[in-house]
Structure 1
């Protein structure tokens, strides 16, 4: 029996996924959560095999939650379910530890296939993501600047564009202010911008703002 969790801040979305999965044999929904903090708290009491995770949450972005789950719950596979297209985030999320990436408008069959695939410890790669990977490996597509960011750089980037200060980021990520400042400097250099405002403009232009 695959133990499943659904993490999304919209009750109607969770209900839609629940309806899609209710009649599927071999699946049981362990819990639902509307925030990243709630999901991590419930995971401590209710271990699950697959965590369906939205990228846009009210308290934490999905990138932070993904990192925390991969560090603390190694046996839990994270399947990103997002309203953002695969072109924007799929490769980055898979590189940073996600077991798969699907858009919220996916077919029921694709969702069930993805859950079973990642529950077996394998990566789920849709035809769209597979094409992106193939073009990248063949040198037919050039990485955008943000696609070259490390896991931690992406975390800091997504928090800066939300307007969080370096000190707040340092506290939340349990890092020193100096370390976060270093990550910020690297971001500015890699993305070719000179300020937090320009970072936000870049995120907006690339369709990366999670909320």
Structure 2
């Protein structure tokens, strides 16, 4: 029996995924969570095999939770969920340790196949994600600069774009203000912008900010 956890801040989305899995006799729902903090707390008490993790969560984002899982629950497999198509985030999430990336409009067959694939220790790549990866490997992918950011850089970038201050980000990520300032400088250079406002504009232009 594979134990599944569903983490999404929308009850209707969690219910939809729960319904998709209801008839699969070898899959059980260990818990559901509506925030990153709740998910991390639940993981301390509930054994889980596969985590269905929303990319955009209030407070601790899906990127934050992914980093926590990689550090504290190495055997746990993570499927990132997003309302965005693969072009936006898939390669960045795979590069930063996710075992797969699913759009929220996937059907039940793809969801179940993805869960079973990652539970076997393999990566789940949709046809489009595999195509993007192949383009990258052959040098044909000229995707946006944010796809090359590290996991920590992506964490800091999304928080800056949402308007968090350097000190707030430092508190939330348990890092010094100096360290966050260093990440900020690196982000400005990598993304070719010169201010937090331009970072936010970049995020909006590339569809990276989620309501």
Which residue matches 1:62? 62
- Offset of residue 197 of structure 1: 0.3
Partner SS for 2:182: helix
- Offset of residue 66 of structure 1: 0.8
CA contact (8 A) 1:7 1:34 kept: yes
- TM-score, structure 1 normalization: 0.98
Question: Distance between the aligned counterparts of 1:83 and 1:149, measured in 2?
Answer: 20
CA contact (8 A) 1:52 1:80 kept: yes
2:74 counterpart of 1:74: yes
Query: For this pair of structures, how many residues does the alignment match?
Result: 211
Partner SS for 1:69: helix
Unaligned runs of 5+ in 1: none
Q: Residue deviations 1:98-130, cap 9 Å, x none?
A: 000010110111100000011111110110100
Which residue matches 2:53? 53
2:112 counterpart of 1:112: yes
Give the alignment of 1:24-103 within 5 angstroms. 24-103=24-103
Runs of 4+ in 1 over 3 A off after TM superposition: none
Unaligned runs of 5+ in 2: none
Which residue matches 1:195? 195
CA RMSD across the alignment:
0.8
- Offset of residue 172 of structure 1: 1.3
Partner SS for 1:18: helix
Partner SS for 1:102: strand
Partner SS for 2:194: coil
